[in-house]
Structure 1
Amino acid sequence: MPEYRATPWLIEYAHHPELASELEDLGLVPAGCLVLDNGHDLSLEWSAAYEQDIQRYFLENAERPEPILVTPDGTVSAEVGDWYGGASLRVRTLLADGALVETKLRWPVFPPWPKRMQRGRRLTDLETEMTRHCARGRSIVVADGSPAQVLARHRDHVSEAERERTTVAVPLRSMDDVENIANAAFAHAQQVETAGLLLVGVLHVVGGLLAVAALLLGWLVGPWWLCLFAVPVVALAWWASVPVLVIARRWKRWRPPFPWVVQRRSRILTPGA
């Protein structure tokens, strides 16, 4: 699975350096960059599920560094990136109980979807897509406006989370901490996506069992035309896969919790460490 790795400050290779400069003007300090490392798989075969122009975007931007800036006290990190031609800004704070607080600048465009998922797009919206990895121990909100407004919204977001969870923000010590948080969040996002796929798998199993039941009833008990119900049941289960997967994005109860709030030994930071 791809992983983030920390690199030195490589602003000359990054998208939207003007956004990083604006964050510096607001008092944040350059800390380094994050690169999503695809390991030995440079083919990005998974991108074949997308339209050709999106595949080209993935290939052109694979492993491009994303600048990381932090507040002087180390409790806030800001990640600057590109979102299909527009600026992307994600601000994070880790709390002492392992919870992750995130504030995102609203995406300029709706994210591209795999071709087979296109028919489900009307069942969701931009806000849902941006917060679909929100779960117990991971709070995500969307902010509009300038970097200053995003940071202000994040400060309010952190204060709300601290009061709700009766805990405090933890300062980051190095880019290693930023890297570990990014990888934990990335792995958690994969777990959330897998939970949706498992739900679709359950749908397929139920559909298969109903189809088998219809065949057995028609064959052993009768009347014979009960067997005909097997075909529409299987077809319905297949057709419903995409809508169920998309609608499940709204069901927070299905999402696994952020691991650092349930696995205390996995936390990388403690207050005052």
Structure 2
Amino acid sequence: MSWIVEQSENTSDVNVNGDTITCQSNSGYRSPINVMFKDPADKNGQYFWQIDIKDLDEKSGGMISVGLTTDQGFKHGWGLKAMKYLGNLSDGSSLLVQSFGNEIKKGDKVEILLQLNDKDLKMYLFHNDRPLGLAFHIQSPYPKPLYPVVSFDANGQVKISRSQQIPSRLNRTGLQFNGIEGDWKIVDYPQHPECDGCQFEIKQQDDNKNNYHLHAHVVNSLNCRLEFNSSSNQWKTSHVMSTMMLGPPEEMKREEAVSSFISNIQNLEVHGEEQLIIRTNRGEQIRLERFGKSAPSAVTQNIFN
């Protein structure tokens, strides 16, 4: 078993040392650098790989993604065809499922379980020992052999190993959140009852308990940074970024109310871990409840066709 590096101007940026691959580019990443591990899954059965992210230059904003590809699908850059995971699911160039898991970071462990039989192909994912569930489910005929593949969008180092210790739990498990982190939905907004049911996701950024990312979706995807100022004991959001698509007038009005309330957040209080009270600088008080997201559906299209 060995690593196969894409044939491109970037080939010399990759160093192979046994089961470990290091990518170090001094000229930046105009496209991903792809490396395939020549450990074929070519017969019916189960194949289980563990991929350890030993190093990753996260300051550059780049990422590492992992997945499975074929001899024909292994190309350089965005030409790669693969069942890929980077937090989202993709086919190597196009987004298939958003937020299937968390973005891959330095020190993470990603595991891939591939099940092959005459009927279908199933690919399960595990991220830091958390089962994410079924990611790809392709009916026969599907291409074989399949190989692990790693794509570098930043300098980093990855180690791969094959294991016979298949996890007993394959179904997705929910994340456990504390504080303001997690998934919330509005249950009481007296000034705008039409916003009841709107959902929010709040994630801590860079292990800093004062910095969070807030995401909401009505017609558009709304995103901003949420920061706590310990001096004033108040919260403040950055400019709310929107995907700027048009929708039905009543939904756009609903989105405008949500965006406006996000822009004016001043205080957040968690009550009993299950309720979040948000107060704005306009004197509004909005009550939200924690909820569990349903598992994303697996990709069923044969992305290799």
Normalising by structure 2, we get a TM-score of 0.27
Q: Which structure dedicates a bigger proportion of its chain to strand?
A: 2
Normalising by structure 1, we get a TM-score of 0.29
Larger relative contact order (C-alpha < 8 A, sep ≥ 6)? 1
